[in-house]
Structure 1
């Protein structure tokens, strides 16, 4: 089984989806090939600002006050159900183009999944700026990776973005299983059953 995971590290739903997928795979006892695919929710997000998630919601997306709090509480509560302690109050929004390059860097060294999770955790739990080159190299070092070279893996990231368009991916997290089935999480209610039915 091959599972392509389209995600964006500044999407709080993606970390939840990643954890739900891990739980389902453990329950079913399946060890698929996992391929982390790049998808940017906001590819034009400015790289020259350092806004908290709430500031970005207000300044860029028009989500204010109680509605912002409601959304953050909803996703924080769901994260807690799968054992993740979100701290979105200190999350720093970022353009994720370089973070996606780091995931490809991790994959090239056999650590794609670990690198993707480290970036999600850095954003949603640790309050680190994953759009900052210095932060990305810190995360690379923590994963035992050499520094990310400027411009490295740009072609691979762009290929993922084109692939997302061909598949019809419009939001994340989205799973593509064996190039046949598209599952959009977190709406999946019984992922383990689906995996069991289609394993092998």
Structure 2
């Protein structure tokens, strides 16, 4: 018999990581299919902590960081776009799309979490970046995301400009990297089973069912 109690899942991710979008969506589908509820906790990770404020052309960034050719980049974007569509998410890539610094975005998630909105903020930021190609290093963009969650854009703006939670977010980033997290998404199930990468709906379903049966 499967225990219907929620299973805690800690998700270490970056809001500009396409596989984090895919992995989360697959996990959500698995939870829906199995009827096993989730208790989600999002944690910050920066794919590009040294990204300058102005960002960098995404295709140029991938070529410099991974040696990705234009053709390979196009194929990867097409694959992600198809995968996203199958999971109800729109990736709207363009040649002029820019990779951006995400530290402010992680600070917004941390702040939104004080109102129980960390999950909603994480998803909203992913949509802002991948679907609308917005600059997540822009305070005004982040203030609008806050407003879309029913939070005060003025308070969000003031928080970001003050740097009030910057040290806390840095500390949380270091916590996960010090424990060996070097790529995202990394999901930790029930505080003890770590899984990296987007594993697919079937694999997530097996993990959830196994943990639920253990707890029964």
Same fold, TM-score > 0.5, yes or no: yes
The answer to whether 1:167 aligns with 2:173 is no
Q: Distance in 1 between matches of 2:178 and 2:65?
A: 28
Contact 1:7 1:39 (C-alpha < 8 Å) held by counterparts: yes
Contact 1:36 1:112 (C-alpha < 8 Å) held by counterparts: yes
Q: 1:178 aligns with which of 190, 193, 200?
A: 190
Structure 1 partner of 2:29: 23
Q: How does 1:1-200 map to 2 (within 5 A)?
A: 1-49=7-55, 51-58=56-63, 62-89=67-94, 91-146=97-152, 147-148=155-156, 149=159, 150=161, 151-188=163-200, 189-199=202-212, 200=215
Following superposition, the deviation at residue 164 of structure 1 comes to 1.1
What are the superposed Cα offsets for residues 48-69 of structure 1, whole Å, 9 maximum, x if unpaired? 34x4422433466543421221
Q: Which moved more, 1:22-31 or 1:103-112?
A: 22-31
Q: Which moved more, 1:84-93 or 1:132-141?
A: 84-93
Following superposition, the deviation at residue 168 of structure 1 comes to 1.3
Q: TM-score, normalised by structure 2?
A: 0.84
Where 2:101 maps in the other structure, the secondary structure is: coil
Contact 2:81 2:90 (C-alpha < 8 Å) held by counterparts: yes
Q: Distance in 2 between matches of 1:194 and 1:177?
A: 8
Contact 2:34 2:209 (C-alpha < 8 Å) held by counterparts: yes
Unmatched runs of 5 consecutive residues or more in structure 2: 1-6
Q: Distance in 2 between matches of 1:59 and 1:194?
A: 36
Unmatched runs of 5 consecutive residues or more in structure 1: none
Q: Distance in 2 between matches of 1:190 and 1:33?
A: 18
